[in-house]
Chains A and B, each alone.
Chain A
């Protein structure tokens, strides 16, 4: 419906009523479910009425067919019409709940007319059902309507339905002659002498001794139903608020994921105009955001800095710490410090504001591009894996310092490594060797080396894809709890000759 149409409708009586009675969006679903329940109750009631009709037809019920037939057939017809309406509007119309309430009350009132005092429980059913809509207004409306209609049915039933012998009062000395059959027929026969006085007595006594106590009990049921409706409403509202909050956090985390993914270099080829080396890296957080990160950048045209790091813990806390660590490391690296000094100064900076005692493991290396000389330092990070020229990938057990942020005033040792054209360096976080399958078995360094060597002559992209495929094949469908981050750098020599030797990656 367009806005104009809606505005026009608002100004009419029905438009205003509709706006007032249409539930909030969060109640639409629950209202449709309640309407379906209403249809089910109607259907069951129809079956019950049909059974009474059948029993009466076979003479197995205590009332004569002529007094039962007409009200029951009318009630069944009403039920059929209501069920058809339910189907036609697909249980969705804003007025359907009110129609259902009116329908139920009228149907039960008809039965009340026939079996009078036997049908006390029927009075409670509509109001009990109305609480399912979580609308106190609807329950109050149903209570009032039920009170009125059942008062009318009590009056009508007193004179036309099954006679309640307990409330018949007689003049002293009245003599009755049995007519045979039910005692009620004998009493009715006796009353026929003065029908007006007899009916007045029946109506008065029914209202006083039958309807009033029934109504008092009904009031208690109404109060309970109102309470259920109100409490149910509160619960739906609370749940809705929680859903909104969850959706908000989810949206924020989604954005955070993209911000974090964008914090690290992620456009490849990363250095399209450099033939001397190639770098490729991937980062897959286990949760929306993670504590792993890699970084690579040129300090100057001759020096490439590579970083692989892993923050303690996971999720949002690790991600916040990751962001700070990455920036401090890069800032220290860009002003031309050596790897050991970069770690030392980063450690000092982090330790000065680290009450939560978070830490980060870091491997950092600076490649001198013309010579292939790599200077590196390791602050508690996984061993790097190196492939020299035409050899195989091997774990390089380097000197380890303590994690960054763990303790103030630490110094970090550096080491050197000579890379020849065709050498590859593979850096990773513990998420790779510690990827776990469904039985709790870890992927391990040996499988990782096998995967690396399976693609040792390929491009940097091939190398990471091979490891990723191997990890995925190993863990299968087991949920992963750690971030998975990898970086591969290929050194092709000062003149980029290794690229042509390896077949090139164009």
Chain B
């Protein structure tokens, strides 16, 4: 999995590509822990994300919780496969998907 971060003032866009699973989600967790300090608007671009496992969902949920206090979080360009996972797990009700 590759993580690409673009910061514009207090807005941060995180683009993920590949598989977000047990092996790769700790990388994202660590990257977010370092980057989220003064972010008010967090956007996840999941256009190239092929798969997300429960361990990956946990990191997204954690970010969502932090951002609901600090500002807002948006998830965009969700593929059909990933959207299906969001639907099944009920994450589609919690996340703001555009």
Contacts and interface: CB of A to CB of B under 8 A. Distances in A.
Interface stretch (A24-32, A72-80, A399-407): A399-407
A430 B23 CA distance: 17
A430 B90 contact: no
B77 to A, nearest CB: 21
Contacts of B4: none
Interface string A382-411: 110000000000000000111100110000
Which label, helix, strand, loop or mixed, suits the secondary structure of the B interface? helix
Contact of B55 (A312, A381, A407, A434): A312
Contacts of A406: 61, 90, 94
B10 interface: no
Contact of A407 (B58, B89, B94): B94
| Most chain A beta-carbon contacts within 10 A, residue among B54, B62, B91 | B54
A401 B57 CA distance: 15
Contact of B58 (A312, A379, A434, A482): A312
B88 A359 contact: no
Nearest to A412: B90
Interface string B35-56: 0000000000000000001110
Interface centre among A357, A381, A383 (most CB of B within 10 A): A357
A209 interface: no
B88 A381 contact: yes
Contacts of A310: 54
Given A312-B54, A314-B22, A407-B94, A400 B61 contact: no
B89 to A, nearest CB: 4
Nearest to A360: B54
A111 B88 CA distance: 83
Contacts of A407: 61, 65, 94
A33 to B, nearest CB: 37
Contacts of B88: 380-383, 400
Interface string A344-383: 0000000000000111010000000000000000011111
B54 A401 contact: no
Could you say which of A357, A361, A380, A382 has the most chain B C-beta atoms within 10 Å of its C-beta?
A380
Contacts of A382: 88
B27 interface: no
Interface string B55-96: 101100110010000000000000000000001111101100
A401 B90 contact: yes
Contacts of A482: 53
Nearest to B29: A357
A312 B26 CA distance: 13
Interface residues of B, number: 18
Contacts of B22: 313-314, 481
A403 B23 CA distance: 21
Contacts of A381: 88-89
Contacts of B54: 291, 310-313, 359, 361, 430
Contacts of B53: 430, 434, 482
Interface residues on A, range: 20 to 34
Nearest to A442: B51
Nearest to B23: A481
B15 to A, nearest CB: 21
B61 A357 contact: yes
Given A314-B22, A359-B61, A379 B90 contact: yes
Contacts of A383: 88
Contacts of B55: 312-314
A402 B91 contact: yes
Nearest to A310: B54
Contacts of B57: 312, 359, 403
A350 to B, nearest CB: 13
B89 A358 contact: no
Contacts of B94: 402, 406-407
Interface string A330-351: 0000000000000000000000
Nearest to A383: B88
Nearest to B59: A357
A403 B21 contact: no
A361 B55 CA distance: 12
A406 B88 CA distance: 14
Contact of A380 (B23, B65, B91): B91
A380 B52 CA distance: 14
Contacts of A359: 54, 57-58, 61
Contact of A357 (B65, B87, B93): B65
Contacts of B87: 400
A381 B65 CA distance: 21
B26 to A, nearest CB: 10
Contacts of B61: 357, 359, 403, 406-407
A314 B53 CA distance: 11
A484 to B, nearest CB: 14
A292 to B, nearest CB: 10
Given A359-B57, A380-B89, A406-B61, 8 more contacts: A310-B54, A313-B55, A382-B88, A400-B88, A400-B90, A406-B90, A407-B65, A481-B21
24 contacts: A312-B54, A313-B22, A313-B58, A314-B22, A314-B55, A357-B61, A357-B65, A359-B54, A359-B58, A359-B61, A361-B89, A380-B90, A401-B90, A402-B89, A402-B90, A402-B91, A402-B94, A403-B57, A403-B61, A403-B91, A406-B61, A407-B94, A434-B53, A482-B53
The 3 closest A-B pairs by CB, nearest first: A402-B90, A380-B89, A312-B54
